[in-house]
Amino acid sequence: MRGCLIEFLLADALKLAIETLEIVWSTKTSVKSAFYKASEKHGVSDIRALRMAYRIAYESIKNLNLVDAIAEFMLGKERYSMLPSIVKNILRVIVYEFKVNQNPSRYSLADYTSAFRSIYSWKILQPIEPYLGRLTSLSFDQAKFSELDRIALTYRQPKWIVEYLERTLGRSLALEILEGLQSEPKIYIRINTFKIGLNECLKMLEDEGFKLKPVDKIPYVYVLEDYEKPIPLSKAYRDGLIQVQDLSSCYSVVLLDPKPGERILDLCAAPGIKTSYLVQLASGEVDIISIDVSIKRILLMKSLMEKSSIENAGIIVADGRYLPLANIEFDAVLLDPPCSGTGILHRDPSFKWRLTYKGITKFASLQYELLESASRYVKSGGRIVYSTCSLTLEENELVIERFLRLNPEFYLSKPKLMLGSDGLRGLNYARRLYPHRDLCNGFFVAVIRRV
């Protein structure tokens, strides 16, 4: 009986993992979103199967280039490329588990093969089954690859990203960043003092097994040092007493330095995490207009504002390039535009395989348009904080340089808090945060003031 239960557990986990991979590649969604959709579709409820399935799907995608390289070596590049999507994903899971995973599964290759046979017809496995017997004894040697290929395989990143980072940041820093993107990212939480006192909340979290340390000079923000369960399962999170918010995101809000009585524009604001922090830093005494182009994200923002007890944020659905604000002037504008996300490639492993350099240039064009739009609403002496979770020049320094060159009434200002590293190309007042140095998302932020 116990053996049957174990077989069902493995079959459920593998079925869910493969469905997750299929959704990721067909819909270009995140691993987490795809996993939720797959879970709903198949109705798997066993927590052990759910955990196993998510790990398998996540790690198979995170290590995709190495997994594919091994699979191509086994079958031949042409034969592997012609496999149907579902067969390719089955092989990816098997290759990851038995050639890449440093923590061997308690199940054997025969167990996996048997489980896949029970889920799919024999015809599905037919193209790859003759090769599976060779897998455990297969000797995959990376020596034949170029140095660039070897680095990409070692750090599980697309070749063009490795090449780009080396070219723009130098080899030493590029390798440090790639190493940092392999590490488990730190988790930061912000306590919502509109709903609870700091000490009371800290005691509540401590009682639930969370060990926290305050972040110096970033108010209400703590880094999670140890925990017994995920933060979203805590009562404090469920009740809206805390918000998961990366240090980098908090830093950009701190640099805007909102003051009571000011009028602030939060552009590209949804889902509202930065808006809520702006209100908190100003003790709830600011007039904020928050704008985002996505209705879906705006609805999430309204839900967050209600849960966080934030009442004084006006929320508008609009394209930030064409704002319906007439002649309103603002003391400050926070602009965190859509970006390539090259600083958060360790958060969702599927994204890096879809990202292209062409996509970066498209983001840079949009970012400049949004910055130009934001500048029209800043009053004399006012400021803009521009930030991205990207490490590229095109989305950061080059956007700022172009803007300052064409708008001489603005200048790059020294931030009130100098975290991270200097910006590139001589923009020393701009700040860059790197995962390996600053233990947060890769990030760029600049404070721009109007004379």
Our CA angle for 39, 132, 114, nearest 5°, is: 50
Out of 201, 250, 268, 389, pick the active-site residue: 389
Our CA angle for 353, 181, 277, nearest 5°, is: 100
221 forms beta bridges with 190
**What DSSP string runs through 77-118?**
HHHHHTS-HHHHHHHHHHHIIIII-SS--SS-HHHHHHHHHH
- CA-CA distances (angstroms) from residue 211 to 196, 207, 226? 18, 9, 5
440 an active-site residue? no
Other beta carbons less than 10 A from residue 334's beta carbon: 28
Structure tokens at 58: 């996540």
- Contact present, 340 and 411 (Cβ < 8 Å): no
For residue 271, cis peptide bond before it (omega within 30 degrees of 0):
yes
Q: Which stretches of 152-305 are assigned E, i.e. beta strand? A: 188-191, 211-214, 221-226, 242-244, 263-267, 287-292
- Contact present, 262 and 331 (Cβ < 8 Å): yes
Q: What residues are annotated to the active site?
A: 389
